[in-house]
Amino acid sequence: GRIVRTGGKELAHELEQKGYEWVREALYAGKV
């Protein structure tokens, strides 16, 4: 899968800190 979201370097840093679990939670919550 491919996650498309604006953010650039800030998003990359956020992913490094939080991992991808928060993305999954957001997807299941409907906050895409």
Q: CB-based contacts of 11: which residues, under 8 Å, 6+ apart?
A: 5
Looking up tokens 């928060």 gives 22
Summarize pLDDT for 1-32 with one digit per residue, the tens. Answer: 566 666 677 777 777 777 777 777 877 887 55
Q: What ranges do the domains of the chain cover?
A: 1-32
pLDDT at position 21:
77
pLDDT at position 5:
61
Residues 3, 27 contacting (CB under 8 angstroms): no
Q: CB-based contacts of 3: which residues, under 8 Å, 6+ apart?
A: 20, 23
pLDDT at position 4:
64
pLDDT at position 1:
58
Is the pTM higher than 0.75? no
| Closest CA relative to residue 3, chosen from 22, 18, 23, 25 | 23
